[in-house]
A and B are shown apart, each in its own frame.
Chain A
Amino acid sequence: MYQKDRLNNEITILQKIKNLDYILIISVALLSIISLFVMYSTDGGEVLFHTKNHFIKLAVFFPLMIFVAFFNIKFWHNFSYIIYLLIILLLVWVSFFGIKSSGSQRWMDVYLFVLQPSELMKVAIILCLAKYYHRLKIENVNSFTSIIFVLSLITIPIIFVISQPDLGTSILIALSGLIILWLGGVKFKYFMYSFITFLISLPFIISFLKPYQKLRILTFLDPDRDPLGAGYQIIQSKIAIGSGGLDGKGFLKGTQSYLDFLPEKHTDFIFTLFSEEFGFIGSVGLLILYSIIIFRIVRIGSISRSNFARLFCFGYAFAIFIYIVVNLSMVLGLLPIVGSPLPILSYGGSSMLATMIGFGIVLSAKINHKQIIA
Chain B
Amino acid sequence: MIKSNSGIRKTDVINRRMFIIGAAKVIIFAGIVARLFSLQINENKKYLTLSDKNRIREWKLPPTRGNIVDYFGNIIAGNLKVYQLHIIPEQVENFNYLLLRLKNLLDLSEKKITKIKKLKSELKPWDSIIVSENLTWSQFVKINNYLYDLVGVKPVMTISRNYPFKDVYTHVLGYVSQPNEEEILANETVQERFVPGMKIGKLGLEKRLENHLIGTNAIQRYEVNAYGKRINQLEHQKGKQGSKIRLTVDTEVQKACGELLKGKAGSISVMDIYTGDIIAMYSSPSYDPNLFLFGISQDEWQLIRNNPLKPLINKTLSGLYSPGSTIKPIVALSALENNVIDTKFKVKCTGKIELYGQTFHCWKEKGHGWVSLKNAMKQSCDTYFYEVARLLGVDRLNITAEKFGLGKKVLGEYFENEKKGLFPSTKWKKNNLDRGWVLGETLITGIGQGYIQSTPLQLCMMTAQIANGGYAIKPKIVVDNNPMTLEEAKISMLGGELHGSDKKLFKNKKNIKIVQEAIFSSTNERFGTSYRSRIDDPKYQFAGKTGTAQVKRISKRERELDLELEQIPYKDRDHALYVAYGPYINPRYALSIIVEHGGSGSKAAAPIAKKLFKLIIDRHELRKKQSNFEEISI
Partner of A298, one of B22, B28, B54, B225: B22
The reply to whether B46 and A242 contact each other, CB–CB distance below 8 Å, is: yes
Assess whether B40 is in contact with A239, with CB atoms less than 8 Å apart.
no
Give the complex CA separation of A133 and B11 in angstroms.
Answer: 11
B39 interface residue per 8 A CB criterion: yes
> Is A26 an interface residue when CB atoms closer than 8 A count as contact?
no
A314 / chain B contacts, CB cutoff of 8 Å: 14, 18, 21
Task: Check B33–A138 contact: CB distance below 8 A.
Answer: no
Given known contacts A242-B48, A294-B25, A298-B18, A261 and B55 CB-to-CB distance under 8 angstroms: yes
**Chain B min CB distance to A349 (Å):** 27
A259 touches B54 (CB 8 A): yes
- Report how far A247 CA is from B14 CA in the complex, Å: 40
Residue of B10, B15, B22, B33 with highest tally of chain A CB at under 10 A: B10
User: A183–B17 Cα gap in the complex (Å)?
Assistant: 6
> What's the nearest-Cβ distance from chain A to residue B377, in Å?
82
**B15 contact set on A, CB distance < 8 A:** 302
Residue numbers in B under 8 Å from A332 (CB-CB):
32, 35-36, 39
Q: Quick check: A310 and B14 within 8 Å, CB to CB?
A: yes
- A243 touching B44, Cβ below 8 Å: yes
CA distance A368 to B29 in the complex (A): 31
Q: Mark A259-296, 1 if CB is under 8 A from B, else 0.
A: 11100000000000001000110011001000100100
Contact partner of B6 (CB less than 8 A), chosen from A138, A279, A294, is: A138
- Pick out which of these stretches binds chain B: A32-40, A163-171, A321-329: A321-329
B13 interfacial contact with A, CB 8 Å: yes
Contacts of B231 in A (CB 8 A): 259
**How far, in angstroms, from A67 to B6 measured CA to CA in the complex?**
33
Q: Is A280 a contact partner of B41 (Cβ separation < 8 A)?
A: yes
Q: What are the residues of chain B within 8 A of A284 when measuring CB–CB? A: 33, 36
Interface string of B21-62 (1 = CB under 8 A from A): 110010011001101110111011011101100110000000
From A137, A182, A184, A256, contact of B51 by CB (8 A): A256
Contacts of B6 in A (CB 8 A): 137-139
Residue in B closest to A291 when the chains form the complex, CB atoms: B29
CA distance A334 to B36 in the complex (A): 11
| A138 in contact with B36 (CB, 8 Å) | no
B54 contacts A261, C-beta separation under 8 Å: yes
Residue B127 interfacial (CB < 8 Å)? no
Please state if A244 and B40 are interface contacts (CB–CB under 8 Å).
Answer: yes
Interface string of B368-387 (1 = CB under 8 A from A): 00000000000000000000
Smallest CB separation, B558 vs chain A (Å): 81
Q: Which one, A245, A256, A291, contacts B40 given CB within 8 A?
A: A245
Task: Check B226 for interface membership: any CB of A closer than 8 A.
Answer: yes
Q: Which B residue's beta carbon lies closest to that of A245?
A: B44
List chain A residues, Cβ under 8 A from B9: 138
Q: Report the separation of the CA atoms of residues A318 and B18 in the bound assembly, to the nearest whole angstrom.
A: 9
Q: Which residues of B contact A325 (CB under 8 A)?
A: 28-29, 32
Instruction: Determine whether the beta carbon of B40 is less than 8 Å from that of A242.
Output: yes
In the complex, which residue of chain B has the Cβ closest to the Cβ of A137?
Answer: B6
B55 touches A259 (CB 8 A): yes
> With A and B bound together, what is the CA distance between A153 and B122 in angstroms?
58
Question: What residues of chain B lie closer than 8 Å to A138, measured between beta carbons?
Answer: 6, 9-10, 13
Other-chain residue from A137, A239, A287 in contact with B32 (beta carbon distance below 8 A)? A287
Given contacts A138-B10, A256-B51, contact A242 B18 (CB under 8 A): no
Chain B residue nearest in CB terms to A185: B13
**CA distance in complex: A20, B343 (Å):** 134
Asked whether A371 is an interface residue with its Cβ less than 8 Å from the other chain, the reply is no
Set of chain B residues within 8 Å of A137, measured between Cβ atoms: 6
The minimal Cβ–Cβ distance linking A45 to chain B, given in whole angstroms, is 13
- Contacts of B37 on A, CB cut-off 8 Å? 280
B10 contacts A275, C-beta separation under 8 Å: no
Chain A neighbourhood of B227, CB < 8 A: 260
Verify if A206 is at the interface (C-beta below 8 Å from B): no
- Contact call A239/B50, Cβ cutoff below 8 A: yes
Asked whether any CB of chain A lies closer than 8 Å to the CB of B7, the reply is yes
Known interface pairs A259-B231, A301-B18. Does A238 touch B225 (Cβ–Cβ under 8 Å)? no
List, in ascending order, chain A residues with CB within 8 A of B497's CB: none
Q: Is the CB of B223 within 8 A of A255?
A: yes
A280 touches B13 (CB 8 A): no
Q: B412-452 vs A: 1/0 string, CB under 8 Å?
A: 00000000000000000000000000000000000000000
- Is the pair B10, A242 in contact by a Cβ cutoff of 8 Å? no
Q: Does B130 sit within 8 A of A, measured CB to CB? A: no
Closest B residue, CB atoms, query A262: B226
Contact (A311, B14) CB under 8 Å given A238-B39, A283-B40: yes
Q: Does B224 contact A (CB under 8 A)?
A: yes
- Does A240 make an interface contact (CB < 8 A)? yes
CA distance A273 to B40 in the complex (A): 13
Query: A342 → chain B, closest Cβ, in Å?
Result: 12
Taken together as a complex, chains A and B put the C-alpha atoms of A334 and B55 apart, in Å, by 25
Interface string of A236-255 (1 = CB under 8 A from B): 10111111111000000001
Kindly report which residue of chain B lies nearest to residue A321, judged by CB atoms. Answer: B25
Q: Any chain B CB within 8 A of the CB of A179?
A: yes
A301 to B47, alpha carbons, bound, how many Å?
42
Assembly CA distance A332 to B39 (angstroms):
8
- Our pick among A139, A243, A275, A291 for the contact of B36 (Cβ within 8 Å) is A275
Q: Which residues of B sit under 8 angstroms from A184, Cβ to Cβ?
A: 13-14
A307 close to B (CB within 8 Å): yes
Contacts of A244 in B (CB 8 A): 40, 44
Interface string of A85-105 (1 = CB under 8 A from B): 000000000000000000000
Shortest CB distance A43–B (Å) = 15
What residue of chain B has the Cβ atom nearest to residue A314's Cβ?
B18
Contact A243 B47 (CB under 8 A): yes
Complex Cα–Cα for A238 and B46 (A): 11
Give min CB distance, B544 to chain A, whole Å. Answer: 75
**Which residue of chain A has its CB nearest to the CB of B49?**
A243
Who on chain B is nearest to A139 by CB? Answer: B6
Contact for B224 among A241, A259, A279, CB less than 8 A: A259
* Complexed CA–CA distance, A329 and B21 (Å): 18
Residues of B within 8 A of A261 (CB): 54-55, 225-226
Name the residue on A nearest B36 (C-beta): A283
Give 6 new A-B contacts, CB below 8 A, not counting A239-B50, A314-B21, A332-B32.
A183-B21, A242-B51, A259-B54, A259-B223, A321-B28, A325-B32
Ordered by A's residue number, 23 sampled pairs between the chains whose C-beta atoms are within 8 Å are A139-B6, A183-B18, A183-B21, A184-B14, A238-B39, A240-B47, A241-B36, A241-B39, A242-B39, A242-B40, A242-B47, A242-B48, A243-B51, A245-B44, A255-B51, A259-B54, A280-B36, A280-B41, A284-B36, A298-B22, A310-B11, A332-B39, A334-B32
Which A residues are closer than 8 A to B by beta carbons? 133, 137-139, 179, 182-185, 236, 238-246, 255-256, 259-261, 275, 279-280, 283-284, 287, 291, 294, 298, 301-302, 307, 310-311, 314, 318, 321, 325, 328-329, 332, 334
Q: Which A-B residue pairs are the 7 nearest by beta carbons?
A: A242-B47, A243-B51, A259-B225, A260-B226, A280-B40, A185-B13, A243-B47
